């Protein structure tokens, strides 16, 4: 029985539990490996050690690593890929998607519409930037998820103060035009196919539509989903080299769609609950097919 490594430090999480169940039901043996407990050894090859699976041969790897462990997760994925394991997603794609400004550069370079966004790293440029991109603006950390580190500055004074804090703490800042709508679309893409979509609507107490910030979700029927939105989601995931992605789209004032960001480790709880789509089963089936293909090619 082929073995799949599920990189997750929190076994109690909904996504982890659902994926373990789905992988087992699909006939795959799954072992959950906490990323921080690896030893990666370049001993003339690519060896690894982990207290849960010492030296076990792994056919496929499914990373469920949060933003703080992105670099560690990428190093682990490179190790497994060098051993011939299939990774959903790969190290370079994970790193690219997790860099909020870098990912927008890639998306824009691929011809995709993104919100107007500016990046700078020196306090002397703050006022020049705010002259060109005046408030209200959204100021974001360059990494993060679930809406953490996303702030709305409605005045120049608020924007200046927040940017000063960010530049002091992390020496760089990202400023984005404010899109006034209170909802966005989260679209799940797997292998170039749209699996499910939901609308997330912000609460009256927060401008962020993230479910972890109090947003509400409702299913969006794929048959009713604008083909433009589906095509943007597919192109965005492909541009970043992601086979599995949660693509967030939002409308600008003129009604056209913008790609807000692309999540390489999308949560399953909100969208499975809202839509009833068994995304975990689809991921498990995809992994099994990839493992079988590699087995036949070996």
For residues 261 and 280, what is the distance between their CA atoms, to the nearest angstrom?
A: 22
Query: Phi and psi dihedrals of 173, rounded to 5?
Result: -150, 155
For residues 129 and 38, what is the distance between their CA atoms, to the nearest angstrom?
A: 43
SS3 200: strand
Determine if the peptide bond prior to 89 is cis (ω within 30°).
yes
Residue 270 in tokens: 């909100």
pLDDT at residue number 217: 79
Under-50 pLDDT residues of the chain: 213
Tens-place pLDDT, residues 160-208: 999 998 888 877 888 999 998 878 999 999 999 999 999 988 765 555 5
pTM: 0.90
- Cα 110 to chain center, whole Å? 18
CB 65 within 8 Å of CB 145: no
pLDDT at residue number 213: 46
Tens-place pLDDT, residues 263-288: 999 999 999 999 999 999 999 999 99
Kindly compute the dihedral angle of the four CA atoms of residues 112, 118, 119, 125, in this order, to the nearest 10 degrees. 160
For residues 28 and 257, what is the distance between their CA atoms, to the nearest angstrom?
A: 39
């Amino acid at each position: 029985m082929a073995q799949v490594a599920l990189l997750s430090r929190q076994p109690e999480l909904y996504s982890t539990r659902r994926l373990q169940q789905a992988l087992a039901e699909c006939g795959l043996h799954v072992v959950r490996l906490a990323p921080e407990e690896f030893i990666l050894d370049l001993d003339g090859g690519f060896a690894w050690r982990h207290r849960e699976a010492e030296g076990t041969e792994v056919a496929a790897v499914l990373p469920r690593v949060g933003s703080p462990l992105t670099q560690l997760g990428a190093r682990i994925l490179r190790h497994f890929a060098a051993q011939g394991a299939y990774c959903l997603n790969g190290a370079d794609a994970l790193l690219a998607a997790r860099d909020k400004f870098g990912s927008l550069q890639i998306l824009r370079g691929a011809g995709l519409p993104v919100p107007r966004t500016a990046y700078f790293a020196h306090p002397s440029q703050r006022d020049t930037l705010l002259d060109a991109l005046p408030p209200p603006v959204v100021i974001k950390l360059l990494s993060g998820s679930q809406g953490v580190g996303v702030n709305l500055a409605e005045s120049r004074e608020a924007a200046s103060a927040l940017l000063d804090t960010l530049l002091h703490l992390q020496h760089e800042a990202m400023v984005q035009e404010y899109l006034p709508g209170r909802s966005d679309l989260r679209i799940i893409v797997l292998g170039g196919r749209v699996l499910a979509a939901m609308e997330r609507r912000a609460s009256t107490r927060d401008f962020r539509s993230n479910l972890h910030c109090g947003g509400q979700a409702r299913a969006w029927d794929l048959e009713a989903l604008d083909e433009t939105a589906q095509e943007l989601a597919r192109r965005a995931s492909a541009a970043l080299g992601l086979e599995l992605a949660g693509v967030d789209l939002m409308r600008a004032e003129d009604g056209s769609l913008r790609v807000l960001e692309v999540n390489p480790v999308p949560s399953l709880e909100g969208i499975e609950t809202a839509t009833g789509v068994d995304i975990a089963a689809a991921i498990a089936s995809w992994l099994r097919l990839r493992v079988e293909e590699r087995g036949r090619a070996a």
